[in-house]
C-alpha cells in the first residue's frame, strides 16, 4: 500500500520505477541474445496494452474528450523507437556502457527543454547537469 503523503507516494512510485526498469534492462540484455529487439518491444507493448485496458475502460469518457491524439501518437512512436534502440544497444554493448551513456540523458533533456519548451537554462544548469553525468559515469557515489 502506498503512503498517503504526496511526497512519500512520489518517492515510492519513483523507487518502484527504478526497480522495474532495472529488471527490464537486465531481461532485455538476457533476451537480446535470443530475440530481436522489435520482438521484445512488441511483446512488452502487448502486455502493457492488456494491463492498461481496464484502466482505459474506466476512464473511457475522458479518453473520448481528448483533443491531442496526434501528440499522444507521436509520443508513443518516440517511445517505441527509443525502446527498440535501447534493446538493440543492450544487445550490442556491455550493460555498464549502456547505463553510463544513459547517465548523460539530463544534458539531452536540458537541451530539449530549452529548445522546445523555452525553459531558461543558464550556464550553471549546464555545468551542473554535465558534472552530474560525469560523476555518475565515473562510478563516484551519487
Residues 86 and 118 in one domain: no
Radius of gyration from C-alpha coordinates of the chain: 18
User: Does the CA dihedral 87-93-96-100 come out positive or negative?
Assistant: negative
pLDDT digits (tens, 9 = 90+) for 69-115: 999 999 999 999 998 998 999 889 998 888 888 888 888 888 888 89
Residues 25 and 86 in one domain: yes
The answer to whether residue 98 sits within a structural domain is no
Residues 27 and 81 in one domain: yes
Range of the domain at 132: 103-142
Residues 31 and 49 in one domain: yes
pLDDT digits (tens, 9 = 90+) for 67-76: 889 999 999 9
The answer to whether residue 1 sits within a structural domain is no
Query: CA 140 to CA 17: how far, in whole Å?
Result: 23
Residues 13 and 51 in one domain: yes
Residues 37 and 63 in one domain: yes
Amino acid at each position: 500500500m502506498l503512503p498517503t503523503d504526496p511526497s512519500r507516494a512520489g518517492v515510492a512510485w519513483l523507487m518502484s520505477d527504478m526497480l522495474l526498469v532495472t529488471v527490464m534492462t537486465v531481461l532485455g540484455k538476457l533476451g537480446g541474445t535470443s530475440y530481436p529487439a522489435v520482438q521484445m518491444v512488441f511483446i512488452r507493448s502487448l502486455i502493457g496494452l492488456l494491463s492498461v485496458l481496464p484502466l482505459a475502460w474506466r476512464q473511457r469518457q475522458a479518453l473520448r474528450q481528448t483533443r491531442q491524439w496526434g501528440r499522444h501518437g507521436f509520443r508513443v512512436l518516440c517511445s517505441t523507437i527509443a525502446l527498440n534502440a535501447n534493446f538493440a544497444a543492450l544487445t550490442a554493448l556491455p550493460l555498464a556502457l549502456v547505463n553510463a551513456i544513459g547517465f548523460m540523458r539530463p544534458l539531452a533533456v536540458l537541451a530539449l527543454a530549452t529548445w522546445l519548451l523555452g525553459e531558461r537554462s543558464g550556464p550553471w544548469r549546464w555545468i551542473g547537469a554535465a558534472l552530474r553525468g560525469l560523476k555518475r559515469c565515473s562510478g563516484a557515489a551519487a
